[in-house]
Amino acid sequence: MKLIVFSLILIFSGSIKQYHEEQFHIYGGKNHDQYLGCLTCGDDQLKSIWCTFGDYGSRHMPKAIWNELGKYGSASSQYSPFNENAKYPPIILDDHKRFCGYLTVNKNNQQRCKNYVAGQICASSDQIRDDIKAWYDWFVVRYY
């Protein structure tokens, strides 16, 4: 009996670990072929949207969704998650390139990503830009 319980614990904990190792990635552009960073990676990883000194987490880099003057972060860009009327909002894919939804503030978009962190990014983008590190600690560390 103890062996069965122990085996079930190992199987269950292994599946939790696998779940937490799954990363979600953002792609933008008309054909969604422009990598915009990792949504759930650590703030010390250069590919992370939470890494403030990387291409995807800096408020000043052209591929960062936090760059409010950039193609992927502006409230008026057709490619930005923060434009409610964007024709081409970014998409979120998992590690297996499976579609998880659009990263968009448009609540009427039926394919909007239901991921908690994605929703909070859309709801709080201006506040996040002001302190990316604190919001990373709040969202990603807490929920992933």
With a cut of 50, say whether residue 9 has pLDDT above it.
no
Per-residue DSSP letter, 100? E
Retrieve residue 123's tokens. Answer: 């709801």
Dump the DSSP string for 54-115. STTT-TTSTT-TT-TTSTTT-TT-TT-TT-TT-SS--EEEETT--EEEE--S-TT-TTB---
Residue 11, pLDDT score: 38
- Averaged pLDDT of the chain: 86
Average pLDDT over every residue of 21-31: 94
d(CA 52, CA 36) in angstroms, rounded, equals 14
Name 34's bridge partners: 28
Q: If pLDDT is split at 50, 70 and 90, which confidence band does 137 have?
A: confident
Residue-level pLDDT at 109: 96
Of residues 75, 74, 65, the one with CA closest to residue 118:
65
Distance CA 100, CA 40 (A): 13
pTM over 0.75: yes
Q: Is the pLDDT of residue 55 over 60?
A: yes
The predicted structure's pLDDT at residue 19: 42
Q: How confident is the model at residue 87 (pLDDT cuts 50, 70, 90)?
A: very high
62: pLDDT strictly greater than 70: yes
Q: In the structure, what pLDDT confidence band is assigned to residue 20 with cuts at 50, 70 and 90?
A: low
Q: What is the pLDDT of residues 29-38, one digit of tens each?
A: 999 999 999 9
Return the amino acid letter for 114.
K
pLDDT at 37: 98
pLDDT at 53: 94
